[in-house]
Homo-oligomer: A and B are copies of this chain.
Amino acid sequence: MAIDFDKAAERLRNWGRWGEDDQRGTINHVGPEALKRAAAEVVSGKLISLGLEFSQDGPQIPEITKRPNPQLLASDLDQIFNPANPRSRFNDDVIVMPLQSATQWDALSHVHYDGEMYNGCKASECLTARGTKKNGVHHLGSPGIMSRGVLLDIARLHGVDELPADHKISPDELNRACEKFGVTVEAGDIVVVRTGHLRTFTVRKDKTKVAGFQAGLGAECAEWLYDKSAAAVAADNIAVEFLGMESLTQEVVLPFHMLAIRDMGMPLGELFDLEALSQDCAADGRYSFLLSAPPLKVTGAFGSPINPIVLK
């Protein structure tokens, strides 16, 4: 790979930085100042959702991704509370869903390499059929993920709706996007990267490409995020990172995932729908905002479905 993976990994490794027992990683960068800065971004009072719907018509193709789309089933329908007074009725439901099925945070337990997860816990000691004993997503949910968000609209930087599938985003492009869109990434910010890829699902209605090779961040971008002390990174693609043949065949498969999640302890936000946000930012020229995306506190989970919302 372009970068020397193991050397980069050593430099970026945040293990012990926030204590031996830390399970929140770079979310620790979000302190009171970052949160106040986030609130200070609110000018127009406009609210935008970045979340996909969770439904049988979601972006998964089980034969390809091994993940079924969410299945919602009623458990009570038009149910009478009290037969003696049948006017009042209620409805309840149950969902069966992969936590990675649509818009989501990857928890710090989602990936690992060389047998160790973030902060040095042994995969063999943590992983169970009922979830992980360490780095479960509930730690990211306490108190939750909120901060200033910054949109780096790489598709717009290049004047296209969607980056081509073989486009690997470089740190230099991130810098150029900051410059063009007039933003500076500060400690504790959540970096939101737009590739346009999700339009294959939301606009072009072609699910076959959602999980294929696609544009995204190159491994070097992990260093950029580290140097900026970013709290998290999210994108409108399936893995945040660039997916090409090399991603799956190099010595460390999915190197950006490994550096970000396992070494830095940085949650990745995937399948964020950034179309409305992109248009809004282009319209008002403001690419920073308050971003709220609290994961569900699912005990021991490897990720969480979310509905991220932006307040500008």
Contacts and interface: CB of A to CB of B under 8 A. Distances in A.
Contacts of A72: 130-131, 298-301
Interface stretch (A84-92, A154-162, A178-186, A215-223): A84-92
A92 B99 contact: yes
A49 B146 contact: no
A32 B46 contact: yes
Contacts of A30: 47
Contacts of A212: none
Interface stretch (A74-82, A168-176, A189-197): A74-82
A253 B300 contact: no
Given A78-B123, A123-B89, A307 B297 contact: yes
Interface string A276-303: 0000000000000010111111111111
A19 B205 CA distance: 29
Interface in A184-238: none
A97 interface: yes
Interface residues of A, number: 106
Contacts of A69: 62
Given A93-B303, A252-B85, A129 B77 contact: yes
Nearest to A54: B298
Contacts of A53: 138, 297-299
B130 A113 contact: no
B74 A128 contact: yes
Given A71-B68, A248-B81, A91 B76 contact: no
Given A49-B144, A54-B297, A88-B113, 20 more contacts: A30-B47, A38-B311, A40-B42, A49-B141, A49-B294, A73-B73, A76-B128, A79-B129, A81-B248, A85-B252, A88-B252, A90-B110, A93-B99, A95-B301, A141-B307, A143-B309, A294-B294, A294-B306, A294-B307, A294-B309
15 contacts: A31-B45, A32-B44, A36-B45, A39-B40, A49-B142, A72-B131, A72-B301, A74-B130, A78-B123, A87-B113, A91-B127, A141-B307, A296-B296, A296-B306, A297-B307
9 pairs of A and B residues whose beta carbons are closest in the complex:
A32-B45, A39-B42, A55-B299, A88-B253, A144-B309, A35-B45, A292-B292, A49-B143, A73-B73
